[in-house]
Every structure is written in structure tokens, then in C-alpha cells.
Chain A
Amino acid sequence: GAVVSQHPSWVICKSGTSVKIECRSLDFQATTMFWYRQFPKQSLMLMATSNEGSKATYEQGVEKDKFLINHASLTLSTLTVTSAHPEDSSFYICSAYKSGTRADTQYFGPGTRLTVL
């Protein structure tokens, strides 16, 4: 089956620093990847849709300059949390679906837990 990995799986950083999270589709090409944020005991919230070779589409209320997304290749999308603050602490999950298929074949990464001190 298709595998999506995320790196790192967890990260602790100081307030004001930037953190980069990678999302990779290991055995398939993904034109589109999604980034979600999940708060404890709450739903996954779609942050942005990442399209290879073009700018990401952000959901309403998500700061583009705060959460930088780069989808430079068909197998890699990165999310950079810039100038992180404690309120950015959360669980970030990416998903990807195979090029040429619908979103019902999206595969989720294991998530990255970010803790900002």
C-alpha cells in the first residue's frame, strides 16, 4: 500500500524559532498534499492544500506567512511554522493522494507533534 511519512515525528522548540516539517509520499507520486492541524480531543482542521509546482491554497483563518508550505516535488511537501509561539503547539498531519485519482485515495502521514516552549 501507499505510504506517507512525516519527519520529524515530534519536535520541541523555543518560542520565536522556526520549525520545518516534511511530508513524503514514499512509493507514489502526489500532485496534491494536504496539511491538517489537530488539537487535543478535537477534529482535524484542514490548513492548506499543497499543489506541486504552485502556491498552496490556504483555508480561511490560516496565516500564509506563519505557515509556509512548499511542494517542490511530487513526493515532498514541507510545512514551516515560522516564529513559533506556544499557541502553535499542536499535532500536524499531512496526507497525499496519488496523482490522477480522487481524494478518496488519500493516505495520511503519522503526524508531527510540535511543542513550543
Chain B
Amino acid sequence: DAKTTQPPSMDCAEGRAANLPCNHSTISGNEYVYWYRQIHSQGPQYIIHGLKNNETNEMASLIITEDRKSSTLILPHATLRDTAVYYCIVRVNTGFQKLVFGTGTRLLVSP
């Protein structure tokens, strides 16, 4: 699986958009970008994934650059409950599907 690079921490004001970047310059053509988050004392939670098109669901939006070497997870209106560690993971979508987590970005949403 390709490696990812994320900033260790970010701050965001409640109600504002949180934009979390991820670099994955060695991503292969058949590898997807996945985002999970882990709220304190809980297991990781799936957020969203994509291959090359931008994706949106009820939790977030995922913007993938045209060259697929980086992506941004957008939480459009961050709340205090979005305070968590966010993990960007790249891997193929077939076969054995273990998740290889890095250290992620610790997002702190403040009032």
C-alpha cells in the first residue's frame, strides 16, 4: 500500500469548514483514497472514499487532485463532536482489505 503524509494537528472553529490535507504522491492507478476518523476512546469510523472523482456524503466531501497525488477531506460545518484523529489511507479495493493506518491528523474543533 502507498504511504500517506498528513499534518500532525489542525485547529478549526466551530461552524467553519475543516479542510484536512493528505499527500499520497506514490499512489497507484488502482488504489483508492479512504478516510477514517477516531474519536477519543472509540474505534475508527469510516467517513468516505474515492478513486479519482470528487465524492460527497452526509459526513464529508473528498476532493482528489487531477494527478491523484493529494486529496482534501472537507467537513463543511465542523462541530465540537468532530474533534478526532483523521486518518487518510490508500489501498486497492479488491482482495484482502487490511487497513494500514499512519499517525493521522488530530483535529481540534473549538467553540
Do A and B interact with each other, yes or no? no
- A residues whose Cβ falls under 8 Å from a Cβ of B: none
- B residues whose Cβ falls under 8 Å from a Cβ of A: none
